[in-house]
């Protein structure tokens, strides 16, 4: 391990957003973006649990994301604003812009004293009928995720993936088998429901998926009719033959699956791109479907901001920083706690967010350090 002390690095006091032990912080505005420790004022990019946590005094979120946020964090004090609407926090202009990741997901645009920074949260450029499309926002500095920031990550067009899921389901139905697909309960499940051919057969979902479906419908997203698995009495379990069943990763290997009798199972995730992840999952099929940008999309999104400086928050940090520097951009990284969704991280496995990460620091771009060490040495500037 390389030894490196971030405290000796010069502080860039002019930065509009800095990394603090609590989360990403805007010093002139006095607010945090997706903080992982309790703070006074939090701007939330989206309701996945690695970005939206309990314990903050005030929350700010996009209007279309307030339903899912409240369903995950009931009782919080939250203000919602429309995409593009500007609010002023301590003289800093803040607005939210679609990130194309899940319902209500936002990039956070921060403007102060002639400078513009944008924090991306999680994002993708692929079309998704369940949320507003990613909007490029011009800025001086862009803070980006890099979950799939390696050249091996290139997604097929979503329709190709959904055609594959339909063909698998149709084949199973013809054999009198149920089709069980595991995916994130929030975002992926609704995108899948909105995109598959609902005419193939009945659709059921796990109890963890239905509350999110309800919020999506309330926000005006069209989803096909879906019944809860738990509503079907044991004597009617023949209904499951030929059905599609949408379940969270946590249901895999559980006794909950016994009621389906003969079934085929599949996993829908960007990690299915990796043979090792597919094998460990032990499912019949892996569908490569992600709500994150692939490598070309990350590059397109970053270029479209026009930013001369880019800071990487999570995922494949080092390859991304290296690529950014090759493009002649000023590049660095923030050590964050994003990427390990405590609710749904089991879908990721050892190839993804749980794998050891190395990062380069924003203040000393040449340094390579272990993520755990970096976090421990990162102090409040």
The footprint of Zn ion (CB under 5 A) covers: 48, 50, 122, 338
Q: Are 41 and 117 in contact (CB under 8 A)?
A: no
Nearer to Zn ion, 122 or 265 (CB): 122
Structure tokens that stand for 209 in this block: 């998926």
Nearer to Zn ion, 180 or 310 (CB): 310
Q: How far is the CB of 352 from Zn ion (least distance, A)?
A: 11
For residue 244, give the nearest of 211, 199, 214 by alpha carbon.
199
CA angle 62, 64, 70 (to 5 degrees): 80
Nearer to Zn ion, 46 or 112 (CB): 46
Q: How far is the CB of 49 from Zn ion (least distance, A)?
A: 9
Nearer to Zn ion, 111 or 122 (CB): 122
Q: How far is the CB of 255 from Zn ion (least distance, A)?
A: 29
Nearer to Zn ion, 6 or 102 (CB): 102
Task: Tell me the chain's radius of gyration from C-alpha atoms.
Answer: 21
CA distances from 6 to 139, 170, 366, 379 (A): 26, 56, 12, 8
CA distances from 225 to 64, 165, 198, 242 (A): 22, 18, 8, 16
Structure tokens that stand for 381 in this block: 């500037």
Nearer to Zn ion, 287 or 338 (CB): 338
- Chain centroid offset of residue 25 CA: 20
Q: How far is the CB of 46 from Zn ion (least distance, A)?
A: 6
Burial (Cβ within 10 Å: 0-12, 13-18, ≥19) of residue 293: buried
Structure tokens that stand for 69 in this block: 């946020």
**Nearest-angstrom CA–CA distance, 281 and 134:** 31
Q: How far is the CB of 95 from Zn ion (least distance, A)?
A: 20
Q: How far is the CB of 176 from Zn ion (least distance, A)?
A: 37
């Amino acid at each position: 391990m390389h030894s490196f002390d971030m405290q000796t690095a010069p502080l860039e006091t002019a930065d509009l957003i800095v990394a603090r032990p609590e989360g990403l912080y805007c010093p002139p505005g006095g607010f945090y973006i997706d903080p992982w420790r309790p703070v006074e004022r939090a701007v939330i990019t989206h309701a996945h649990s690695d970005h939206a946590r309990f314990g903050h005094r005030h929350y700010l979120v996009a209007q279309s994301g307030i339903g899912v946020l409240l369903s995950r964090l009931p009782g919080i004090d939250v203000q919602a604003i429309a995409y593009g609407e500007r609010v002023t926090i301590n003289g800093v202009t803040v607005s939210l812009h679609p990130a194309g990741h899940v319902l209500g997901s936002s990039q956070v645009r921060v403007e102060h004293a002639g400078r513009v920074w944008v924090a991306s949260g999680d994002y993708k450029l692929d079309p998704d009928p369940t949320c507003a499309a990613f909007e490029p926002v011009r800025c001086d500095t862009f803070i980006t995720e890099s979950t799939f920031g390696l050249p091996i990550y290139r997604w097929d067009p979503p329709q190709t993936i959904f055609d594959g899921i339909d063909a698998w389901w149709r084949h199973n139905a013809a054999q009198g088998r149920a089709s069980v697909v595991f995916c994130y309960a929030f975002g992926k499940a609704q995108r899948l429901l909105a995109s598959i051919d609902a005419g193939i057969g009945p659709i059921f979902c796990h109890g963890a998926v239905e509350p999110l479906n309800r919020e999506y419908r309330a926000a005006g997203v069209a989803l096909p009719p879906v019944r809860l698995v738990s509503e079907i009495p044991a004597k009617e379990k023949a209904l499951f033959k030929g059905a599609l069943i949408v379940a969270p990763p946590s249901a895999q290997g559980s006794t909950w699956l016994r009621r389906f009798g003969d079934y085929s199972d599949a996993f829908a995730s960007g990690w299915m791109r990796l043979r090792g992840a597919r094998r460990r999952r032990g499912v019949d099929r892996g569908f490569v479907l992600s709500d994150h940008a692939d490598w070309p999309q990350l590059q397109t999104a970053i270029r479209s901001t026009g930013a001369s400086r880019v800071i990487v928050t999570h995922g494949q940090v080092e390859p991304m920083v290296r690529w950014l520097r090759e493009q002649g951009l000023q590049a660095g990284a923030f050590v964050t706690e994003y990427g390990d969704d405590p609710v749904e991280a089991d879908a990721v496995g050892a190839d993804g967010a749980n794998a050891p990460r190395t990062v380069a620091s924003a203040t000393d771009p040449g340094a390579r350090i272990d993520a755990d060490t970096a976090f421990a040495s990162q102090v409040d500037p």
